[in-house]
Chains A and B, each alone.
Chain A
Amino acid sequence: MSILVDADTKLCVSGITGREGTFHSLRNRDYGTQVVAGVTPGKGGQYLERIPVFNTFHEAVRSTGANTAMIFVPPRFAADSILEAEDAGIALIIAITEGIPAHDELRVYNIIKKNGRSRLIGPNCPGILSPGKANVGIIPAAFFKQGNVGVVSRSGTLTYQIGNVIAQSGFGNSTIVGIGGDPVPGSDFIDMIGLFEQDPETELIVMCGEIGGDAEERAAEFIAANVTKPVVAYIAGFTAPPGKTMGHAGAIVSGSRGTAAAKAEMLESKGVRVGRTPTDVAEVAASLVRV
């Protein structure tokens, strides 16, 4: 088992004919992911290395039974593309695009929530990898093998760093999910930790947070009330000054809230172990479960 993506994933990529879209779609397919379709308006009927391209998500779903969408179009087209995938009935939408306007994200989030038929991961995220089963997005799969640690993170490269030190301790991963660094992510820690709690393969959950917002604080409350599996957390940004956006649109400390210290304290008060460095996270993980 794993969560969200696996051997049954049938992926349709919006923006498959763009440079990045092509590169990563083919890499995902090489990994073993079923990439069944692409969408680029005006290029319907063409093929990208045997993957059929459609003008609309609706046609792609009708012809191929796609059940997962990956959004790789530029920011100004991304909200519309996400809503199109949702309208076509795709259950899981993974938005890689960085730089989508905040009000677009707000509208998309609320529409998806109101309709209640799709789950959105991202935007501005590296995607989802279930080692040995499927890779949807830009996570470098070669560093990870199948195993019992579920990882959920707001940041891409930090996930690779932490995943790598965990792998060096001998662990593998059930699924690695990047929820993205934007102010309004489609899914947050709570959604993913809830799925890992239900997943029989996952024995330990690692969450990588960062400064800004209150997603980590809310996750702490959720874990205390609902999660039986051990959770290890890491928070980036202890040295970040208030009022400065640290790269991710969501990583900004405003006022006294959202600091790394406040998040770590809240998590620890709810019984979640917090590693002070990525290496420390791996050591704590190794002390809690066997490989």
Chain B
Amino acid sequence: MDLLEYQGKQLFARHGVPVPGGRPATSVDEAVAAADYIGYPCVVKAQVQIGGRGKAGGIKLARDGHEVREHAGAILGMDIRGLTVHELWIEGASEIASEYYASLIFDRSAKAPLIMLSTKGGMDIEEVAESDPRAIARLHVDPLLGYQDFHGRRLAFEAGVDADVVRPVGAMLAKLYDVFVAEEATLVEVNPLIVTPQRDVKALDAKVTLDDNALYRHADNAALRDISAEDPQERMAKERGLTYVKLDGDIGILGNGAGLVMSTLDVVAQAGGSPANFLDAGGGSKAEAITSAVEVILSNPSVRAVLFNIFGGITRCDEVARGLIEAFDQIKPQVPFVVRLDGTNDKEGRQLLADASLPNVHAESTMDGAARRVVELAG
């Protein structure tokens, strides 16, 4: 789960990471009240989970209430790369002497947290990594040892931060490591991490990704999920315990098991088709789950044909067939279905479908054949 900037900063503040003071706002009047409380000059910042907010005009400096009103009015409702702005973060303006970059990521290859620090902050770090890889100091922390002060000194000296802020930068990294571990994050990124003319260090931005699997231990964080930012079909699928990812094409896909579904998308694409979604009905799906899944797939108006590709292990093909028959009964789909059932109880499943003689349902015996057929039918 990705947090908005201000949610990340509130998390930072709880762990003692220095951040500028601020308040969230969802209306122009709230924004002005927040700015009056914080004082001027202040910054009006769009809260959306996407980079490039500044370039899109979603971050503006305001010197008085009049300017806050003007900027807040322009930014609320603004579209930033496909996302609508519903929330603002109003914070005190910071004076900047230097802009650094700091991040912690869950490095799955090294099986350890990776800390990165650079004095080239404020810009796209992937560009820095490309053009000047030596400008980024990197260090893995043994998760059984945890963060030690020497880690911070090594990173700060290697990155070449100003000598007078080596200590506070190290202290900030220690606190960011606390956030990473205690909140069970998979990413904590601060860009820019600033040094003020008074030589204070502060996190001017916050990008935090939390591990969904750990949210049961963090009820406060779980409550931060922004349902309005989720795709409506993806939300509907999640509520029904299905894994659904919306794609751009017109062929609805249902399978069991993430790997098989990914493979099905590829085989359909190779046959010249364009998948409308990824949908993993999971292991051991019962008939109701299949019926729900059909509903989710067909709620996307682009779908012109649907492919069921099932290789039953725990999943029983007769249950899948029952779910599909039930779905036809309830939803009466208007698009053709191609169904390939293999594995546990496949004969029973195929027989059930044959007996039901559903309109516009085509049985295929192989994955490749089924993919070709559904592409033809989607026309």
Contact = CB atoms under 8 A, between A and B. Distances in A.
A109 B112 CA distance: 10
Contacts of A234: 263
A76 B257 CA distance: 22
A210 interface: yes
Contact of A102 (B214, B258, B268): B214
Nearest to B142: A110
A240 B265 contact: yes
A97 B106 CA distance: 21
Nearest to A76: B216
Interface string A233-270: 01011111100111111110001000010000000000
A32 B187 CA distance: 45
Interface stretch (B160-168, B294-302, B306-314, B355-363): B306-314
Contacts of A156: 257, 259, 283, 313
Contacts, number: 164
A100 interface: yes
Nearest to A155: B259
A194 interface: no
Contact of B143 (A107, A218, A249, A279): A107
B144 interface: yes
Nearest to A168: B366
A102 B213 contact: yes
A124 B186 CA distance: 18
A213 B217 contact: no
A228 interface: no
Interface in B256-313: 256-263, 265-270, 275, 278, 280, 283, 311-313
A184 B278 CA distance: 23
B109 interface: yes
A103 B181 contact: yes
B67 interface: no
B269 to A, nearest CB: 5
A103 B211 contact: yes
A154 B268 CA distance: 21
B313 A157 contact: yes
A160 B343 contact: yes
B158 interface: no
B258 A246 contact: yes
A106 interface: yes
Nearest to A240: B262
Given A155-B259, A158-B263, A236-B263, 4 more contacts: A76-B216, A106-B112, A109-B111, A158-B260
24 contacts: A75-B213, A76-B216, A101-B214, A101-B217, A107-B143, A110-B112, A155-B260, A156-B283, A156-B313, A158-B260, A158-B263, A160-B313, A161-B342, A161-B367, A183-B108, A210-B258, A213-B109, A237-B265, A244-B245, A246-B261, A255-B126, A276-B270, A279-B366, A279-B367
Interface of B: 106, 108-109, 111-113, 126, 142-144, 181, 184, 186, 211, 213-214, 216-217, 243, 245, 247, 255-263, 265-270, 275, 278, 280, 283, 311-314, 342-344, 366-368
